[in-house]
Chains A and B, each alone.
Chain A
């Protein structure tokens, strides 16, 4: 019974692989490269046709021993990979995947080395090397805006993450069902928030509170809360539980147990993570500016939109300097407090 289920699983996986191979061969290689169809259209009937073809192919191959790809990989023998029959099929599919990749990413060496393209690149690099210092004052103001945006986002995230992290730590929440539910929901919300990029949050908040640094700060703050809580709670899960037992055994209140048993062990790693987060936030604040989060990123977007490359050059220099300074500072501080 179990053996049959396994075989079915292998077969279904092979059908998937063969369908993929047939679809790519037909659409990308035949229609795109051989027939040179200009606008590829994708129909669902075609896909069903490919699926049937894939199923037939994998059925035929499964009749020959050792030609099922998935079964081959899960089967343990000492034969070197290159000498196993199914491996040729695997290589074939790998090559198809590369061809697909080239097609979909519109990879083109011709574009890369084209005359006009090279000229444009030269022009941009030339003007980047000749930054326009007339806008220095304005761009420094935007840079300051970015750094403080990141600072506020980090600072506001600290208290929230600090409290949340205790509820998202497994070793502190296993005492009762109530805490286990809190743990699960805290983890769920945090993971959900973290999996949405700050860029997307910035778009949401720029609609909510209007384009500008405040929207960017809110986006960074939300994302910081999610990732700091995760880092903090992992740190809490790694603590030595001995002192907790000791404090608990004196008859201390649970709050006191956490304050004396947990907090002294985590305070320095927390500080280190927080500084690192500020560093990350400064970089992210620049990117977020591109979608209307304010600061130097917004300025960069405005100048590149009007192709004023000398101004863009100055902004890039300033961004590089800030990132370098933040990076050096944060790594120095983190080393000191280790």
Chain B
């Protein structure tokens, strides 16, 4: 078992209850997709898993270790084993693709060395390898603000892979990309999942992408888990339950 979430509850400081009583188990090597409307708690769930947000109640057990109560160095240790990519890529615009990938190794680099960007030769070599995996080796010294959206997301994937993660969290990785680029980014995630054996938890909007890439799907609505199963099981009825009565499916090809 890679990840086990027990009775997770998250209430924001403003009183908004984002998640309630969530129980999820994730096996090693899975490609789990989370669907749901905007505001249903998908992003919050991912950020609670890697402790970007503190959780209000419940447990997150990652690789057999209860991590929700960890603090300081122990927390950062756990975080370093989970990669994360974001809808808006969240790269450092003014730096090269290579430097951005190297930030994935910050946990293993001392503060002094990292301030002067003194990464070791092995780390640099590994960063090149990761860029190669996402097909961007020749862009290594390009500033990332000169790259296209799809390329930026691939750099972000390489940054996450630099952590040698056992789990990759993807928060709507294709929501700000065009359809063709979306497929390319999803294909890279699939490759990471199948070839490197990295477990993936991914938030998605489009059901067509879900059917193509997901091994298993869970659906959230108003902070509650309302569906869990195979992508094929999401029929018309379930679709309406998840997205509301008036929703219509949009296909992305």
Docked CA distance A246–B84 (Å): 7
Q: Are A259 and B92 in contact (CB under 8 A)?
A: no
Query: Do residues A242 and B114 form an inter-chain contact, with CB atoms below 8 A?
Result: no
Q: Which of A243, A245, A253, A260 contacts B76 (CB 8 A)?
A: A253
Contacts of A259 in B (CB 8 A): 114-115
Which residues of the partner chain B approach A255 to less than 8 Å between Cβ atoms? Answer: 111, 115
Interface size, chain A (Cβ < 8 Å): 19
Contact A264 B92 (CB under 8 A): yes
Q: How far is the CB of A257 from chain B (nearest CB, A)?
A: 8
A258 nearest CB across to chain B (Å): 10
Flag if B92 contacts A250 (CB, 8 Å).
Answer: no
Cβ-closest chain A residue relative to B50? A249
Which among A246, A249, A255, A267 has the greatest number of chain B C-beta atoms within 10 A?
A249
B88 at the interface (CB under 8 A from A): yes
Q: Is B163 an interface residue (CB 8 A)?
A: yes
Interface residues of B (CB under 8 A from A): 47, 50, 52, 76-84, 86, 88-95, 103-104, 106-107, 109, 111, 114-115, 156, 159-160, 163, 169
Nearest CB in chain B to that of A268: its residue: B94
Q: When the two chains form their complex, are residues A251 and B114 in contact, meaning their CB atoms are under 8 A apart?
A: no
Q: Mark A234-268, 1 if CB is under 8 A from B, else 0.
A: 00000000110111111111011001110011010
- A260 and B52 contacting across the interface, CB-CB below 8 Å: no
Contact B107 A252 (CB under 8 A): yes
29 contacts between A and B (CB under 8 A): A242-B86, A242-B88, A242-B89, A242-B90, A243-B90, A245-B47, A245-B86, A245-B90, A246-B84, A246-B86, A246-B91, A246-B103, A249-B52, A249-B79, A249-B83, A250-B80, A250-B107, A250-B163, A251-B76, A251-B78, A251-B79, A251-B81, A251-B163, A252-B107, A256-B115, A260-B103, A260-B106, A261-B92, A264-B94
Are A252 and B88 in touch, CB under 8 angstroms? no
For B78, what are the chain A residues with a Cβ–Cβ distance below 8 Å?
251
By a beta-carbon cutoff of 8 Å, the part of chain A in contact with chain B is 242-243, 245-253, 255-256, 259-261, 264-265, 267
Q: Which residue of A lies closest to B162 (CB)?
A: A250
A281 to B197, CA, bound (A): 60
Q: Least Cβ distance of A184 to chain B in Å?
A: 18
Which residues of chain A are near B88, meaning CB under 8 Å? 242
4 further A-B pairs in the complex, CB-CB below 8 A; given A246-B159, A256-B109: A246-B103, A250-B84, A255-B115, A260-B114
Judging by beta carbons under 8 Å apart, are A249 and B107 in contact? Answer: no
Q: Are A243 and B92 neighbours in the complex by a CB distance under 8 Å?
A: yes
In angstroms, Cα B169 to Cα A249, docked, is: 10
Chain A min CB distance to B77 (Å) = 6
Contact A247 B86 (CB under 8 A): no
| Interface contact B91-A243, CB-CB below 8 Å | yes
| Assembled-state Cα–Cα distance A248/B84 (Å) | 10
Contacts of B52 in A (CB 8 A): 245, 248-249
